[in-house]
Amino acid sequence: MKKVKITQIKSGIGRPKRQKDTLAALGFKRLNHSVEVEMSPAIAGMVDAVKHLLKIEEL
């Protein structure tokens, strides 16, 4: 599977609880925080749910 670098570029404040929980499950701690993950179907689904808050780069 390919690795991707995901960066949170927009705040979770004012978003539904489900989106906030998804950001936490992806490992984001704060704005502009980046995580590197293996892109699996589960991760792809979580990223798709909050893609409007994220920037995705392939490694």
pLDDT at 1: 80
Structure tokens at 2: 């390919």
Tell me the CA distances in angstroms from 46 to 37, 49, one per residue in order. Answer: 12, 5
Range of the domain at 32: 3-58
Query: What is the arithmetic mean of pLDDT over 14-23?
Result: 97
pLDDT at 21: 97
Q: What is the CATH number of the domain that holds 28?
A: 3.30.1390.20
Q: Which helix (H) or strand (E) holds 58?
A: strand 54-58
How many domains in the chain? 1
pLDDT at 54: 97
pLDDT in tens, 23-54: 999 999 999 999 999 999 999 999 999 999 99
Contact between residue 40 and residue 3 where contact means Cβ atoms under 8 Å apart:
no
The neighbour count for residue 30, using CB atoms within 10 Å, is: 8
pTM for the structure as a whole? 0.89
